[in-house]
Amino acid sequence: MPTYLTPGVYVEEVDRGSKPLAAVGTAVAAFVGFTAAGPTDDPTDPEGLRPRLVTNWGQFEKLYGGFTPGAMLPHAVYGYFNNGGGNAYIVRIPHREMPKAALPASSGDTPALDIVAKSDADGLSVTISVPDDAPEGSFDLEVKRGDDTVDSFSGLTLETVATTVNDASQHVQVATQVEDATVLPETGTFELAPSAPVPLQVTGTEFTGGETDRTGIDGLVIADDVTMVAVPDLITAATKEDGSIDMEMWQAVQMSLISHCERQANRMAILDPPPNLNPQQVRDWRTAMMYDSKFAVMYYPWIKVANPAATNGNRTIHVPPSGHLAGIWGRNDETRGVWKAPANEVIAGALDVSTLITKGEQGVLNPIGVNCIRPFGTRGIRVWGARTLSSDPSWKYVNVRRLFNMIETSIMEGTQWVVFEPNDQALWQRVKRTISAFLLGLWRDGALFGATPDEAFYVKCDAETNPPDSIDLGRLITEIGISPVKPAEFVIFRISQWSGGADAAE
C-alpha cells in the first residue's frame, strides 16, 4: 500500500477484474522427413537439422530446395500450403550425400579443398583464380550455374575459405580441408558432377531424433505452438532393396510419433498407411499395428498429384495424404473453427486416389478409425471420415480432441498471472470469471453444445475444490466441465407414407 503524507487527491490503478483469455492457434503443422537441401544460415546448425519455421512455399524452396526425387516431404508441404495451411515447422533428416569436387593443389596430387553442392549440383562449377595484385597466399573463388555467377569470393586464404564460403553461400560448402595445407588450390574451373547423390541408410532412430540435439520428431519439443505432426517420408526410408516395405520400421517410427504427441498432449499425429494396400489389407494392417491413441489420426488411401520433380516423363505421383490433410485442418480452423470436424472437405491438388473405396468397404474401415478419402464425381475428392485411433468413445472424433487441446492450452497460457497470487476467495472468483468468459465466447461461436451457457459448461473454483489442506500445499484447483459439439456422422431421414388430414403426425 502507498504511504500518504501530503494532503491532496490521489489516483490509483486497481486490478480487480477478470483477465482476458484468448484462444491459442490451432493450425501449426510440423513435417519430419527428407529435403533437397537444408538451411545453412545458422552456424550452430550447419546441416540444418533443427526445426525451422516456414510460412509459405517460396520460403520452403529457398531454405530446403523444393521438390527432389526420393523425398515426399516437399509434396506434403506443398499440399499443406495449397490446402490452406499456415505456419509449418520443417525437421530435416539427412538421407543422401551430395556430389562434390576435389580441388587439387597447385603442386602435387593431394586435394587442397573439397567443395560440396548444398542442393542440386546440375550445372554448378567452381573457378579458382589468383589475380596479379592478390596478396601472397590468397585466391578468389567463383561459383557458377551454367553461365550465371551465383557466388563470388575474393581474398580467401586457406585459413578463411571454409568459414567464409560456408557462412555466405547458398549453393556450395567447403566439406573438408587438408590439415596444415600450405599449397593453394590449383587455378581453373572444376565441375560439380550432376550425378545422383549417394543415398544414405536411414533408420527409425534418425526419425525419432533427440530432445538434446533438437533433431527428428523429439526435437519438436522446442516448438510449443505445433498442433499436428506428420512423417511423410516413411515410404522412402522403409522400402527394402527388393521393393517390399519394412513394416517393423514403419510401425516403430509411427509409434515414436504417437508417443511424442501423447507426451506433449497438445498436438495430433497424422499417420499414413503403407502404399498400394487394398481395403482388406489396410484393415489387417491397422489391426496388426494395434494403435490406440486419442492423439493420432489415420487417412487412407494415398492420393495422386502432379509431380514437378518427375524426370521420366510421368508427371504424376502418388503421395501420402498427411500433408494435404494438415492443410485442410488449417483451412477448416480458419473458416469454421477447430470444433468443426475436418471432413466433407475437398482436397485441393488431388487428381485421383490410389484405391477406390466402396461404401461397404468404408463400413469396415470407419469403425476402426481409418478415415477414408473418396471421389464423389462433380463434388470432387473429399475427406469422408473424422475419427481418431482411440477405442475410448469419449475421444472418438478428431474435432473433440483438438477442441480440448485448444481449450487446455489456452487456459494454461492465459492464467499464468495466477501463480503466486494470494490463494483466497477473491482469487477464486477472478479465476472463475476469467475462464467462464472464455468458455462463454466459445459457446456463442458454436463450439459447445447446449441451449444455454449452463448446459454447455460449468466452472467451479471455491472452498469445496480448495480445502485448507490443499491451500497449505500451495494448490489452487478449478474444476471445469465442457460439453463439446460432435459431428453429425450419420444423417438419417425417416420417411413414411402419409395420408394427410386429421391423422397428420405432430
SS3 293: strand
Tell me the chain's radius of gyration from C-alpha atoms. 29
Q: How far is CA 13 from the centre of its chain?
A: 44
The gap between the terminal CA atoms of the chain, to the nearest Å, is 68
The C-alpha atoms of residue 206 and residue 95 are separated, in whole angstroms, by 10
For 99-183, strand residue ranges (E) read: 100-104, 111-117, 124-129, 139-145, 148-156, 172-177
Per-residue pLDDT tens digits of the chain, which is 506 residues long: 677 888 888 887 777 667 788 888 899 999 999 998 888 778 788 788 999 999 999 999 988 988 888 899 999 999 999 999 999 999 999 886 655 555 555 555 555 666 777 655 567 788 888 888 888 888 888 888 888 888 898 888 878 887 888 778 777 777 555 455 556 777 888 777 544 555 667 888 889 999 998 999 999 999 999 999 999 999 988 888 888 899 999 999 999 999 999 999 999 999 999 999 999 999 999 999 889 999 999 999 999 999 887 666 678 999 999 999 999 999 999 999 999 999 999 999 999 999 999 999 999 999 999 999 999 999 999 999 999 999 999 999 999 999 999 999 999 999 999 999 999 999 999 999 999 999 999 999 999 999 999 999 999 999 999 999 999 999 999 999 999 999 998 999 999 988 876 555 55
SS3 487: coil
**pLDDT (0 to 100) of residue 195:** 46
CA atoms of 206 and 243, how far apart (whole Å): 21
How far apart are the C-alpha atoms of 151 and 87, rounded to whole Å? Answer: 30
**Coil, strand or helix at 436:** helix
Listed residue (48, 33, 404, 393) closest to 236, CA to CA: 33
C-alpha cell at 137: 597466399
Residue 200's alpha-carbon distances to 32, 34, 86, 192, in angstroms, are 16, 11, 32, 19
Whole-number pLDDT of residue 47: 81
Q: Which pTM does this prediction carry? A: 0.81
Residues 504 and 456: beta-carbon distance below 8 Å: no
Burial of 192 (0-12, 13-18, 19+ CB in 10 A): buried
pLDDT per residue as tens digits for the range 224-271:
999 999 999 999 888 888 888 999 999 999 999 999 999 999 999 999
Q: How far apart are CA 442 and CA 455, in angstroms?
A: 13
Which residues sit opposite 419 in a β-bridge?
none
Q: What is the DSSP letter of 503?
A: G
Distance of CA 370 to the CA centre of its chain: 20
Return the pLDDT at 122: 65
Could you give the CA distance from residue 64 to residue 418 in angstroms, rounded to a whole number?
42
Q: Is 45 exposed, middle or buried (0-12, 13-18, 19+ CB in 10 A)?
A: middle
Q: Three-class SS of residue 152? A: strand
Ramachandran angles phi, psi of 452, nearest 5°: -135, 160
Distance in angstroms (rounded) separating the CA atoms of residues 411 and 403: 12
Residues 194 and 188: their CA atoms lie apart, in Å, by 19
**pLDDT of the residue at 463:** 95
Instruction: Give the chain's domains with CATH numbers.
Output: 29-95+201-335+343-385 (3.40.50.11780), 97-198 (2.60.40.4290)
Provide the percentage of residues in the chain whose pLDDT is more than 70: 89
CA distance 288 to 389: 13
Cα–Cα distance for residue pair 486/73, rounded to 1 Å:
32
Which residues pair with residue 88 across a beta bridge? 29, 54
* One-letter amino acid of 157: T
